[in-house]
Amino acid sequence: MRRLVAAAVAAVLGVLAFGASPAQAAARPLTPAFFGMHDPGLDATVSYGALRLWDVGTTWAEIEAVPGVFDFTRLDALVAAAERRHLKVTLVLGSTPTWAATDPLSVSASWLPKGTSSPPTSEAYWARYVKTVARRYAGRIDSYQIWNEASLRVFWQGTPAALAQLTAVARREIRRADPAALVVSTPMLPRQPDWSTWSAAYLKALKPLGWPVDVFAVHSYQPDKQATPAGRVAGIRKMQSALLAAKAPVKPMWDTEANYSSNAFIHHEVTGQKAADWVARTYLDSLRLGVSRTYWYAFDARVGHLGVTLRPASTGARGYSSVFSWLVGKTWTGCTGSRTKVARTLVTTCGFLVGKKASYVVWATAPAKLPASAIKVRTVCTLLSGCRPITKGTRLGTSPVLLKR
């Protein structure tokens, strides 16, 4: 069935502004680093500008399996490969080696050694590890994230306050070794029923330490029934509300793992046009909500409960490549939401500029008509079918499209 396409500012009852201030967003064109990726083999067939190293054999437990003996073979190779592709690298620091664990037998993620979820017996061990890594990769690793999903007991069995203290220690050592490197908070997880309690305690503990992070992180996975772009948007807004409640300083937010999470996806993946739409919406929604970097999880690495795997030439990957080409190099001028007079359909319009040349990415909650006088554009581009001239019959649907002059 042919997808409907159309334009943005159709006849409306009102206009709503979304997300970050356009004045802030318009400061500079979007760079490839807005598009992050988990790419285990560094062989992705899509373009991206930021790489997060996780699930690739580069944890503390894997680098320092023997006290004071550091094996950087794997990390050296990944960083060198990333440099050849001019990628900004985010390394996740953490996962305690068995020898340093308070509880060497603590239950941990199945693919990690025993004890990795345990707090270290000494801050000195942690400080030595962070210092050694930060010195070795000074100027080469862009940012360091403190632990992965610490609110899950398979990754961290210490208290939020204990992790906040490790965050402060890491910040101190990283600043000494590489003042330009960014420190990223552990990712908070709105998908969890009790996430707000854990996150509130972690944020509360960071405050008296002087907020020792440069970036706040979220993993925008959704509860099963909310595994849609709308569910992801709700999760990000929960995270933003938690930061406001904690009176956290204004800092960038990154989504360091993005996909659509439901046990239903174990039995069937999201494919076809829907995969292209959902991947494109991920990055468009991040833009309008003020999330300044988003890392897709993952390229060509299937995880059963995650809906979309970006495989070479898949519709998800094609949709990703389209939205990458639509956004990178362009200056965002803001997004608005408008409702049509008929059926109150919500139309979302995001504007972009290259010099004085404007373009728009648009989608709607239901089919909507394109009025001839709405926007003076001549061409419509879809995620999967390329570009064609706009006609009187051109309409808008749930799939994002690019409108350009």
Q: Is the pLDDT of residue 246 over 70?
A: yes
Say which CATH superfamily domain 31-328 falls into. Answer: Glycosidases (3.20.20.80)
- The predicted pLDDT at position 28 comes to 84
Q: Is the pLDDT of residue 9 over 90?
A: no
Q: Is the pLDDT of residue 62 over 60?
A: yes
pLDDT level of residue 8 (50, 70, 90 thresholds): very low
Report the distance separating Cα 282 and Cα 269, nearest Å. Answer: 17
Q: Give whole-number Cα distances, 124 to 69, 135, 170, in Å.
A: 15, 16, 11
- Tell me which of 107 and 277 has the higher pLDDT: 277
- The predicted pLDDT at position 373 comes to 43
- The predicted pLDDT at position 340 comes to 75
Q: Is the pLDDT of residue 371 over 60?
A: no
pLDDT digits (tens, 9 = 90+) for 98-131: 999 999 999 889 899 999 999 999 999 999 999 9
- The predicted pLDDT at position 19 comes to 55
Report the distance separating Cα 253 and Cα 251, nearest Å. Answer: 7
Q: Is the pLDDT of residue 15 over 60?
A: no
Q: Is the pLDDT of residue 195 over 70?
A: yes
- The predicted pLDDT at position 405 comes to 85
Question: Which of 23-37, 266-280, 373-387 is predicted with the least confidence, judged by mean pLDDT?
Answer: 23-37
Instruction: Go through 251-282 and write b for each residue having 16 or more CB atoms within 10 A of its CB, e for each that does not.
Output: bebbbbbbbbbbeebeeebbeebbbbbbbbbb
Mean of pLDDT values over 135-157 = 97
317 φ, ψ (degrees, to nearest 5)? -65, -35
Domain residue extents for the chain: 1-29+331-405, 31-328
Mean of pLDDT values over 127-154 = 98
Do residues 5 and 396 touch, judged by C-beta distance below 8 A? Answer: yes
pLDDT level of residue 205 (50, 70, 90 thresholds): very high
pTM of the model: 0.93
Q: Is the pLDDT of residue 283 over 60?
A: yes
CA-only gyration radius of the chain, Å = 22
pLDDT digits (tens, 9 = 90+) for 150-193: 999 999 999 999 999 999 999 999 999 999 999 999 999 999 99
362 φ, ψ (degrees, to nearest 5)? -140, 145
Question: Which sign does the torsion angle of CA 125, 126, 129, 130 carry?
Answer: negative
- The predicted pLDDT at position 20 comes to 55
Q: Is the pLDDT of residue 12 over 50?
A: no
Residue whose structure tokens are 């898949």: 314
- The predicted pLDDT at position 301 comes to 93
Length of the chain: 405
- The predicted pLDDT at position 344 comes to 78
- The predicted pLDDT at position 330 comes to 97
Q: Where are the beta strands (DSSP E) in 117-222?
A: 143-146, 182-184, 216-219
